[in-house]
Chain A
Amino acid sequence: MAWTAGLGTIGPSETQEWWFSWGGNGDVGPQLIQAEPLGASGELSTTQISESLDANGHLTYFATVRNNGSSTVNFQWRGGGF
């Protein structure tokens, strides 16, 4: 199931880590998560995806985006699983 979330802004060479949380125990299986630039000449690289299990038994997903372009751009996250 594909999903879209978040609305961010990221400067040139900047790196940001975002978290993604679902209900219940948070487990929605393996997730492909990518940052999508919303402005022209945006070049965003999703550098890593993590899963984190907290002390309450809740699974949270993390993704890190780096702006490899020369301009500040707006972006959103898109993802999906199986």
Chain B
Amino acid sequence: MKDPKEMVITPAGPRPRNKVHAVGPGQIVRRTAEGTYVLVPETSSEGSRKSPVAPEELVLTPGGLRPKSLVHRIEPGAILDGSDGRYRMRHRSGRTLADFGVIPFRPVGRPLMPRNVFFPVPAAIPAFGSGWITYASWSNNTGTPVSRFATSWVVPPAPSTQSGQTIFLFNGIQNATMIYQPVLQWGPSGAGGGNNWSVASWYADGQTGQSFYSSLVNVNVGDLLVGVMTLTGQSAAGFSYNCEFQGIANTGLPIQNIQELTWCIETLEAYSITKCSDYPATDKTAMAAIDLRTGNTNPPVVWTVSDAVTDCGQHTLRFDDDALGNGEVDLWYRGGPFWTVGAGTIASGETQEWWFSWGGVGDVGPQLIQAEPLNASAHLTTTQISENLDANGHLTYFATVRNDGPNTVNFQWRGGGR
């Protein structure tokens, strides 16, 4: 007899044998209201009649596709409550309006997304990348919970081509189990929408879990959005938050008695992209005026950039590391006209020389190279640019930066040629 706790390998990694189940012909896997899974016959019998069980419709949400039955709208004025290990929609009075079942918990230590984005693409169809395209992240290890995370951005121009694509832009906070996010959306999702921009707040699990959203509200190109998540309470039962687009009615999605949210992100997410013109008809969206607080303070925040999909040149650039009301990262839909490299720190009055090397013989023609400060009250002067040809015939470029400002600051190099 085989040991039920023996570890076996599955496509999703090793796990105990008793957690791995063979699904036979004519069987389907069904998720119960309790959040567990059972194998049931593909056809059900009622008396002598047999009716087929149709596969459940999948709908798109931030985080990918999931069964429609797992996507729930939270009514305006209602609260999503996670106490006692279950999700319930409650009236402000405390009365339960709906019970969504038990809360699954994943091992702590890693953020939910983008590991759990689910969006299968048929292999026969050449596809552009989907899921989390490019993003910046910061993990709160200060020991004090995030109390406010706000970001301002302008609704970008519509994409110049329509291919049934869906684009999500958001700031968000997540833990190992759920993600909380005020989302700007182009295209359809489980909340609705189409070929127009709209906003809603979401609180979502990965592909096998539930997803909750507020009302979806249309917005216009050029509107200034302020996505805000606020810690509203903390007790033995858990943490409570609110998420909304500031000044846009019915976009609030309050939640209470859940696990702490710790990983902050600024993200471009997209699905069903068939060409680069399916992205908004602009180069980038500036996720600006970032106000990130832990308790009553603004912690030092240095964003980590991840460019997961680059088929159209998508990338994220840090612009301002100061989260006190003006921190900014830029989400680029396509390649930038110049290059960006390096991540340095330079003290007031200090001078640094950096080198820049390209492949082959290293010659990329004349290059304009400049140091860009990433902190406020910074003044960086690029004092000289040099070219050096070594004994192997390789050309290397050099640039020198001097900090003429009063503070030690972070910086990066930017440049380009013809």
A48 and chain B: residue at smallest CB distance: B381
Asked if A72 is an interface residue, CB under 8 A from chain B, the answer is: no
Secondary structure call for the A interface: loop
Contact A53 B376 (CB under 8 A): yes
Residues in B whose Cβ lies below 8 Å from that of A57: 288-289, 319-320, 322, 325-328, 376
Contact B382 A48 (CB under 8 A): yes
Pick from B286, B326, B372, B378: contact of A56, CB under 8 Å: B326
Interface residues of B (CB under 8 A from A): 286, 288-289, 319-320, 322, 325-328, 336-338, 368-383, 404-405, 414-416
Q: In the bound complex, what is the Cα–Cα distance between A77 and B404 (angstroms)? A: 22
Q: List 17 A-B contacts (CB under 8 A).
A: A24-B286, A25-B328, A27-B319, A29-B336, A29-B338, A29-B414, A30-B370, A30-B414, A31-B370, A48-B382, A50-B382, A50-B404, A53-B373, A56-B376, A57-B322, A59-B373, A81-B338
A27 and chain B: residue at smallest CB distance: B319
Interface residues on A, range: 20 to 34
Contact B382 A53 (CB under 8 A): no
A55-B377, A57-B328, A57-B376 known; A82+B337 contact, CB < 8 A: yes
Residues in B whose Cβ lies below 8 Å from that of A29: 336-338, 414, 416
Contact B288 A25 (CB under 8 A): yes
Contact B338 A82 (CB under 8 A): yes
Residues in B whose Cβ lies below 8 Å from that of A31: 368, 370
Contact A51 B370 (CB under 8 A): yes
Q: In the bound complex, what is the Cα–Cα distance between A81 and B416 (angstroms)? A: 8
Contact B377 A48 (CB under 8 A): no
Contact B383 A48 (CB under 8 A): yes
Secondary structure call for the B interface: strand
Q: In residues 26-41 of chain A, which contact B (Cβ within 8 Å)?
A: 27, 29-32
Residues in A whose Cβ lies below 8 Å from that of B377: 53-55
Q: In the bound complex, what is the Cα–Cα distance between A82 and B374 (angstroms)? A: 20
Contact A52 B320 (CB under 8 A): no
A61 and chain B: residue at smallest CB distance: B370
9 tightest A-B CB contacts, nearest first: A57-B326, A82-B337, A50-B381, A30-B370, A52-B379, A82-B416, A82-B338, A53-B373, A55-B376
Residues in B whose Cβ lies below 8 Å from that of A49: 370, 381-382
Contact A53 B289 (CB under 8 A): no
Q: In the bound complex, what is the Cα–Cα distance between A24 and B322 (angstroms)? A: 17
B369 and chain A: residue at smallest CB distance: A30
Q: In the bound complex, what is the Cα–Cα distance between A62 and B414 (angstroms)? A: 16
Choose among A24, A30, A49 the residue with the greatest number of B CB atoms under 10 Å from its CB. Answer: A30
Contact B338 A30 (CB under 8 A): yes
Residues in B whose Cβ lies below 8 Å from that of A51: 370-373, 379-380
Report A27 CB to chain B, min CB distance, Å. Answer: 6
Pick from B383, B405, B414: contact of A52, CB under 8 Å: B405
Contact B337 A81 (CB under 8 A): yes
Residues in A whose Cβ lies below 8 Å from that of B338: 29-30, 81-82
Q: In the bound complex, what is the Cα–Cα distance between A77 and B379 (angstroms)? A: 20
Q: In the bound complex, what is the Cα–Cα distance between A30 and B382 (angstroms)? A: 11
A58 and chain B: residue at smallest CB distance: B326
B383 and chain A: residue at smallest CB distance: A48
